Each structure stands twice: as structure tokens, then as C-alpha cells.
Structure 1
């Protein structure tokens, strides 16, 4: 137990407790952390320890512990977390779930998910498992990191059939002992690797990868001949080997090679790496690729590994729902609403049980996936069509769903039904077809100026530099972004809806810094014109897709944000200067009248640009003060002149 604890916590715990005199002399350490242990998970009878000796002693009497540490010894909360040391998943086997699951089953799930080998697996008395990945370097907890940790943990739990309610870095897990430890290794994983895995899974999930099969479309065979892939096949350096091996294995899989052949090719490729990977690691990566859920490599990973622009997409007409393996989320919304309406507009039960009862309207044998069910409920709740009320915690939680806006519900269901019936291709302007990534072929795109977009009349391959997109599938153009702003990006080759939406988000953040609300931007033509101007200036400096000198998303968005702030600051300054020039020529009565109008405007809520109106009112007050000073000076000067003249006359009379 002691050795394992030292590997988890490192220097976050001490061998012996410090005396008070030492604390006063050396100060309190911000490096140390408290570990919570508990006898009963349900009663939360916890005790905090900070030394290895204490942890070793209490482990005989306590059952649970926190792999991550806290800066307070009286409160085990997310807000008091100090160090994150491990990513941990609870695979429960209660209430009939995961019944009969064995350690090889868990390891197979980990491999299929594309996850690295865990550091520790503990079996619980209920025949469940606690799976831990110890981090190479502990991460200092923060609100942003804690939230991302939970997102990754949730995704891992879903793929490993774990408890999606047992989420959070502050949670307790069963203390490892010689009796309950069923797997242990020296493997460690970096948090960055887990973030990359999460990003890859999200990216692949954007595409309907489950419908793909090996060599399903011509062009796969040319994938391995692509210059970007050939660049990776020349060998990579340390730090890229794992990702490159997994990516190449998926490329061989997509091209139709069997697992053994791909492994043989990758062993030969490994000899070109500096340094080489262990043969067992190559074998494990190939196995993970071939037995996992992904059927093709990530275009983004190919770009990152090769340093070359690379993309592949095919445009095709949308299939009718009955011909698709998976349904669009809008179509599932109609099915969920129909199910709830059939139960009288209100249903109650666990979310998993409810999802099990919902079937497709075109295929009674097809049930809604649990993950999709949660997304649908969240969307309907956000649209204020459904209300969700959860009572209880954990596996015993019960969810009540109720339709609260029947008009919106009917409209949503009608639109979903119409979408299913209308399968003919429509002209929707900038986004007239459904884009489907076939991961077929692909072309390295030149960085030199010239036309980069080529679309054939029969919806064949469209080659676009996808470095600006985080997904293989081009998203539709967002409808809540001003058309002028959308066109400014679209005409420069930025056709992915996600990119346009993120760019508009940067514009909104820039305006927010000046107190401008989001809704006011789109409704103010001069603000939209400023945002379009900001796009032009950003493209001049950071490139565009059409020209081929695009420098990447992060650089583009950062520069756009700064340009937008600079333009608006200049715009507001010009408005204020013009206002000052105008009020200088007003009469006193008109100046007072304008001031009263501004005061009335500021009393209203909301005001488009409150800061500007306040500045204008301040300028009116300055102008009024200046006029009063000038009047006072004029009157005072006239009085002094009259007084001096009278004294001079009196003096002249005296002389006479």
C-alpha cells in the first residue's frame, strides 16, 4: 500500500507530520494535499490524512480513499481540490448491470475505446471494477481543468459501461489491497494524452463511423499513397510515435488490409522511427485500431503528424431515414415527444429505462441510443419544450419528463416528420447538400496562392483545407450569425459552420468587453459592418483557405478578437469626437435638452451601448461647466474693468 500510495501522491504527502513550530518557521506548504478516507461510502464518514504513515495506519480500518488531494481537511468538495493525480472510472455491477463482467472484458473495452493501458484495476465486492490511470505529472486543480476532467471521465465511463453518475475528480474509490487488486502496471499517462484521446473520439463521433466498412468506397486504397501519409510513413520522432502508429493502423484498416498484414507493415515502419517503439506497443496499437470503433484515420491527426494540409470529404444526397443505420438527432426528437405524449405528456423512471422504451418511428427494432437520448432531452429542455426533474442520486435516481409547451412540441415533431418524408435534394443556399466524410483518398493542398476548391457536378470529392475545422464532417451554416458576416468568411473559403460560429463567438466576446450585449450586435448594422471589416483585416494578416496561406484556427481567432476590439474602440472614439463637435454649437437650452434626453435613455433597460451614452452625458456636463466658467470669467473681467475706470476718474478729479 505504501509504495502504491507514493507512486500516486509523490511529494503531496509527507512521511511525518510537521510540528507547529516548524510550520511557523517554514510556513505552510502550498504543495501538500489532504487525502480523504472513509469507512462507509453512503454515510460519508470521512477522515483526512496528510502523511504516508497515517494513510498506511488507517487503511486497515477504512475502505475508500480519494486518488486526488485537497487543500482543506474539513471539506471534500470540487472547490477545495488541489491536485489531480489520476483518472478513475467506476464500473458498477449492481442491479443486473454488467452482470458476469470479467477482467478480460474490462481490458477488451479499454482496447476498443482506444484508451491507454490503465495503471490499476480494483475489483469491488459486488464484482464491479474501479479502473485508474495514474498521471505522469499531477495537475494543479482549477475550475477549467476540473470541468474538462469531468467531460473526459464521462466519455470514458460511457465507453467502458461505467457509472456516468460517478463523475468528478473529488470522488471516493475503494482502497486497493493485495486481495482486491486484479491488475497493476507501471504505466502512466499524461493528461494531455487523455485530452487528445477525448478530442479524437469527439471528432470521430461527429461522423457516422458505424456505417463504414473496410474498403467500402473506392479511394481508400489511394489513402496510403497520399503525400501526407507517405510523410508519416518515413518515420516520426519520440512524442509522435503512439499517435502515428494508431493513425497509420487505421489507414491500413480503411484501405482493406487485414490486421496481421498491417502489423507487419508497421513493424517495418517502426524501424524508421527515432527511437523505435517496443514491438509490443506496435502490436497493441494495431489491435486497438482494428478492434476499436473507428474505421478510418483522423484527417486532423494526419495534418498534425505530417505538417501538411490534408482533407477528404464527399458530397452526396441525404438518404431517407429508413435507409440509414443511424437517425439524425432532430428525428429522434420527434420519436421522444411521441413516446411522452402517448404516456399522457408525462413519464417517470430512470433515464436508461426510458431510453429502452423509445423506438424509431420507421423501424420498431431500432431503439434510441442512451447517449443520443440524453442529448435529445437536453435539446428539448433548452428549447423549453420539456421540463426535467431528477429525484434521488446514483442508480436509484428517478427522472420525470413533462411536455410544457405543446405548440413547440407539435412544431418540432412536424418538422422531424417532414424531414423524413422529404428526401429530395434541396437548394439551401450555401449549404445545399449533406456532407458525409468517406475518408476516401484525399489530396495534399498546395500552400501557394491559387484556387483550392474543386467540386464536380456529380457530387464527387471536394478537397478543402480542413485545418480550420475540428471535425471531419463540415457542419451546416449557423442560422443565428448575420449573413454579411457569414458571407465574409464563406467567400474566403471558410465553409465549416463550426468555424463560422466560433469566429462569431470571438466577435461577441470583443463586444462584451465594451458592455455590448450579444443580441444588440446582430440588430445594429454598423456593428455588423465592423465585424465584416475585422474579418478582412484578419485575413490580410493571418491568411485564408482560398489563397492557401491560412495560419491555423487559434492564431486566426486570437487576431480576430484583438482586431475587433481595436476597431470598436476606434469606432466609439470617433462617435464621441463627433458628438463633442456637435454639442459645441448648441445653445444652452438645447444642450440642457440633449442632456435630459440622455438621462432618460440611461434609465431605460437595456441600452445598446450604455458606456457610450454615459461618456456623452459626461461630455455634456463638461461643456456646461466650461460655459459657466467662461461666463463667470467674462462677468468678472467686465466688473474689474468698470471698477478700474471709476477709480481712474476719481483720481483725475482729485488732481484737479
Structure 2
């Protein structure tokens, strides 16, 4: 369960929960997310966890989980999603629906749909199936992404005879166990690939709802009989010959032909090309295909060369770990951590010596390869699970590895620090307006979603007395301010409703300069997170009530206004940059399609960020213009070259 969870969530969960004092000192990371587990689909039995330890413990008593994670631990809603990690489908087998369906039937449906191999298939007690595709890289949730996710999910559910009502990235699915997992592979898919699949199938289905089946190949043995491959075998034009020869050689290789036979067939195929390739080039392409690392042709290349729909999935069951020649790096992570824990949470020595001492939990005779050990250490260090320090250089170098949270947990505090912590907790007490912390792995009122903000000083500074009196009678907290923003201020000792209301007003004014209305700020999760981060930045510069270094109201509000503007400007710049990178890789048709979608958004009665859409449309126009210029330049360059060659030939004839 732990290895599978790490495969899904990566660094969105931590190994162990932090103490409250550690959170106040180091802040909260925006990469983390909450996983919801449930005994059934009722709210009363739902629990949120944020550590692998908590998830492992509750998995014995809970039945369902969310593959995607949330930034709030009290509300499992589409609007509170933080990370999308998987595309998941529910195939029901109730009330006579899909009666008698087996795992091979599900695999057949996936193959016919042209979908990639899934990462996990779980069978439910009712003999239904939950199918999951883990994403290569988690996607940050947004309103637009969530909507597109649901569109793709609906299409996949229709093709797999799944439940088209169980749609949405926020849904619960059955927790995988050794007993109910019927298929598990290390396969992952990019969200862009799923978008391409959706676009391709959508275009075909506009003509015939069953057209998609015509383009899919069931296995390597039928590759050479598929209409798209047969089309390429009829011969290609000059600009396609090299790619076609290499692609066909891989097709023969995948179909089981030896190199000599494949070369003979391709020499015959070459005679159909206009003009033909040189025989030595055919030989080189075949040799490259058979000696290279690819075992089968690219479906994308076959589509491009044939101009026809083509896709295929080859099912390869994952072998047990003890039978693999190379254990998955995530499984080695568990072995490395177990080794360090067995030595008190800290080890030191040369890296080669440390690697020599680590064995596989599945096979005690198998040691971790040195190169794999270095990769594992780098991954664990990046996830902030371990701390690595190196002393000296060269052969005398010594590496110290420490499991961060476990070392922090065993540190003893002095009486003075214990008293400071008690005083801090008293100042930061919860009132009746605060969400009660009943969850595993953290607090219900996070300080910030920022990952690198130093929120509080290491120690309290009693010499700096607050100018904002905590003794004065507090006004009630306004109900129209988002709870996350209220919590960000409340947890720092700002409990007066008037102060919180004025702070929210400064945030609203900052957003207004970018054309964002007051109503849309509170309704958009990303904007609220940005406002919470602005509070963290402001506290770092202007102090807080809880730390005792608060300076003044006016200075705080002015800095909050500027911090919000600066963070949103960076946020907007990142959005545009990501969009430009995305559209540069799209085909002309896809680029046109994205432009139409944006224009439809702009025509809607309620637009959250009109300026962003207008900017994106301008970027699309620039990209389309740039492509036209490149085509124009290419065509004229080719024309000028041909013209020069003709003039040269005419000159030579005249000279003769």
C-alpha cells in the first residue's frame, strides 16, 4: 500500500506529521495536499490525512480514498482540489449492468478505445472495476482543467461501459489492497496524451459513434495487417521515406520477423516509393531498428505517415518484484529508509559503503546498485524526507543521511522553550468560529500554502511590544471573508473582525487592478490561496501578533496590498508563459480549436479573468502569424533555390 501511495502522491504527502511549533517556524508547503478516506460515501465517516503513516494506518478501517488531493481538509469539493494525480473510471456491475464482466473484458475495451495501458485496476465486491491511469506529472487543479478532465473522463467512461454519472476529479474510489488489485503496472501517462486522445476520438465520433474502433490495433501480431500500416506499405513520397522505412522495420521487428527477412521485405517496398531510397539507406534503417532500444513502432508516426487513425495497447503484466532484474526506484526508497531507521534515523560513511549494506526487502541476497542508491538519495532529499551532508572530498569523503522528521521528534526541549511553546499555544487558541482540528497529519487552519516563506522568527522578541492591542474587545469575524484568509490572520493572532475585514479590502483592491471582481476572488480557489500567501509574505516583513513583533496597521495593510499585486503579477506571468509553451507544441488544428474555446469563454455572461483570455487570444494570433511567416519563408526559399538551379542549368547549356 505504501509503495502504491507513493507512486500516486509523490511529495504531496509527508512521511510524518510536523508538530505545531515546527509549522509555525517553517510554514506550510504549497506542494502538499490532503487525501480523503471514507468508510462509505457519507460525510460523517470521511477523514482527511496528509502523511503516508496516517494513510497506511487508516487504510485498515476505511474503504474509499481520493486519488487526487485537496488544499482543505474539511471539504471534499471540486473547488478545493489542489493536485490531479490520476484519471480514474468506475465500471459498475450492479442491477444486471456489465454482468459477468471479467478483467480480460476490461482490457479488451481499453485496447479497442485506443487508450494507454492503465497503472492500476481494482475489482470491487460487486464485481465491478475501478481503472486508474496515474499521470507522469501531477497537474495543478483549476476550473478550466477540472472541466476538461471531466469531459475526457466522460468519454472514457462511455467507451469502457463505465458509470457516466461518477464523473469528476474529486470523487472517491475503492482503496487498493493485495486482495482486490487485479492489475498493476508501472505505466504512467501524461495529461497531454489523454487530451490528444480525446481530440482524436472526438473528431472521429462527429461522423460515427463507432468509428473509433476502426483505428485500433489489438496487438503486435496484427500490426502489418492494419489498414494504416498497409497504407504505408503502398509506398510514400520523398520527404517520408526515411521515417517510413524505420517505422516499418520496427513493425516487422515487433511482429516477430528476423532482421534479414525484414530487410528483404523493405527492399521490395522501396520499389513502390517515388523516388526510391538507395539500397544502403534501407539496410541502415533496418539495422538501426533491430539494434536500437525500441521494440515497436510509434503509433503517432503511423498516424502521420498514413493520415489514418491508429493506436494500440500491448498488455504486459507487471512481474513480481523478486523476478525483476531491476526493482522500481520507489520500492528501493522504502528499503533505504528502513535501513536508516534501523540505525536510529541517522547513518554516515562513504556512499559506496552505505549502498553495500542495503538489501532488497523482497530478496535479501540482492543489494541496491550504487547508481540506483544515488538516485534514491536524490529523490528522498528532494522530497525533504532525508537530509544529506557531505564532509571532506575525494576518497575520504563521508556522507551523513538523516531522516528529518524522526530526528526532530527525538530532540528534547529546554524548560524555557517548553514554556515559550505553551505561551504561544495560549495566544493562538481557537475560538468558536474556528474549524475544530479532527484530522490526521496537520491542522485545520494552515498558516500558508507558500513553500518557502519564513513566517515567524525563531524566538519571540519581548522587547518589541505590539502597537495593536490584543486586550481591546474584538469585533466578530465577518462572514463574507473566505475562511482560509481568516485562518491565515487568526493563526497569527489577528482576531479582531475589523482588522480582518480591512485586510480583505486591501486584497480586493489589489485584484481589482487586474480586472478581477470582488465576487470572483472568494469563488476562485487559486485566488484565495494567493491571498493567503500574501498574508505570509506581509507577516514576514511587518510582524504578527503571535510573534510579538507586529509594527503597525497602516504599514501592514500597505505591504499586504503591494504583496498581493506582486504575487498576482507573477502568477499571471507564469500563466502566460505556460500557455505560450503549450500552444507552441500544438498542431495547427489543435491551435485553432483552443482559440475557438477561448472565444466561447469570452462570450460567456460571467468571465472571471477577461484580461487573461484576451492575452491568450493575442498569443494565439502571434503564434499563428509566426507559423505563416515560417511557411512563407520556407516556400520562397525553396522556390528561389529551384529557380537558381534552373538558371544555372540554362547557363551551362548556353555555354556549351
Larger radius of gyration: 1
TM-score, scaled to structure 2: 0.40
